[in-house]
Homo-oligomer: A and B are copies of this chain.
Amino acid sequence: MIQLPYIVDVHLRWSDTDPYGNVNNVMFLHLIEDARVMGLHAWLGASKSLLNEGIILAHQEVEYLMPLAFRIPPVRVEMWVSRIGSSSFDLAYSMSDPDEAGDNLYAIAETSMVLYKVDDGSVRPLRDGERAILEKHLGEPVDFRRRNIDD
């Protein structure tokens, strides 16, 4: 079980902040969306069937661990595969400071991606080549605490 995450430093925008001066909770999902678009492009390179054909986000979950105040230096998103199913897979994400900038972990997240055929909308199975690529980046599932926030 080798984990080879995609690592990208994403930039905050002034407009990401809420009235409390922190990055709005919804904006975290724009940031992981960016990481996902870039990461899948980097992983799939030559064999882009996954991207050219249909892929939908069926589920997403995010847990906020620390407030993230607006700042000019970027935030690091690490992305890895956390589950490979027959016609779907999960991507996991962490949002933290880049190495040199501290070791805060701001959020963890997971999204479920489902493959489908554009022509008739039906779900399609992962091909062997796609599965092989995803397996190179397979790591642990995200350990959400939420079920035990209190009591």
Contact = CB atoms under 8 A, between A and B. Distances in A.
Interface of A: 10-11, 13-15, 17-21, 24-26, 29-30, 33-34, 37-38, 41, 56-64, 67, 70, 72, 85-88, 112, 114, 123, 144, 146, 149-151
Contacts of A18: 14-15, 17, 19
Contacts of A64: 56-59
B57 A25 contact: yes
28 contacts: A11-B11, A13-B30, A13-B33, A13-B34, A14-B18, A14-B34, A15-B24, A15-B26, A15-B33, A15-B34, A17-B18, A17-B19, A18-B19, A25-B29, A26-B26, A26-B33, A41-B72, A56-B67, A58-B146, A59-B64, A59-B144, A59-B146, A60-B62, A61-B61, A85-B149, A88-B149, A112-B146, A114-B149
A63 B64 CA distance: 18
Contact of A19 (B19, B112, B146): B19
A18 B13 CA distance: 11
Given A34-B14, A86-B150, A114-B149, A60 B19 contact: no
Nearest to A149: B88
Interchain residue pairs A-B with the least CB separation, the first 7 = A59-B146, A85-B150, A61-B61, A14-B37, A26-B29, A59-B63, A86-B150
